[in-house]
Every structure is written in C-alpha cells, then in structure tokens.
Amino acid sequence: MKLMRIAVGAVVIAAAAGLGACSSSESTSDATLIGGDVVAPVTQTAEDLRGATVDLVVGQVLNITTGDLAVDSYTGEVADPAVATFVAGREEGSAAFDPGVEAVGEGTTEVTLTNADGGIQPLEFTVVVTAK
C-alpha cells in the first residue's frame, strides 16, 4: 500500500512538472491565453461598465453580466464595428447567455448599451482593442 502511494505521488509530480514545462513566458498584457490562441474573456457587470474603459485584445470577448435583468433585454450599438461588435444575450432552454462585446480589430470605439426593460439610462463605455 505504501509503495502504491509513492507511485501515485510520483505520477502526480511528474504530470505537474510536465504541464509547467508547457507554459509560455510570453506576456499578453491583461489577456490570458487559455489554450493555443484562445484568450480568456473579461467579465464585468453592466453597471460597472458605465463610463469605464475596457482593454481587450483581438479575439477577446467582454462578457456583460446583467444581474436581475433578463440577458436578452440589452441591445448594443458599437460606434466602430471594425474594432468591436455587440453580441446579444439569449436564453436557450434552461441556459442563459450574457450579452457581450467581441474585439475584432485594433483601435478604440464607444459602446452604448440600452435596456428594453425600461427605466434604465443608456450605458456608455469605451473599448480599446490591441493586437495579441
């Protein structure tokens, strides 16, 4: 039994060392590569975006959490669609997908979110997109 524990421990250590050797020392600013060229999304609440500047890299997504409001109640307008595009939230069965903004090209653009549920002022924020 003791020999089995030692063998399992050695396998775990070897696997951890092997995974560590696969990591990249290349910096990606605030973006984190999570596998190949896939960049982890940035997540912020709709209210925290008011007047904010969000830094993204090309291909990265800003995931916008909507709190108590329906994910499909937000619409978005992006001033420069060559820099970023709005992705509408949706519900599919029991799954809810938050709205977001996808970085598609380098540059800076303004984004305005409005909410169909009413009583909420339009939300404006800036998206700055840089290369990976």
- The pLDDT tens digits of the residues spanning 37-58 come to 778 999 999 989 999 999 999 9
Q: What percentage of the chain carries pLDDT values higher than 90?
A: 62
Phi and psi (nearest 5°) for 97?
-115, 120
Q: What is the pLDDT of residue 7?
A: 41
pLDDT digits (tens, 9 = 90+) for 100-130: 999 999 999 999 999 987 667 899 999 999 9
Dihedral of CA 83/90/51/32: which sign? negative
Mean pLDDT, the chain, integer? 80
Residue 9 has pLDDT above 60, yes or no: no
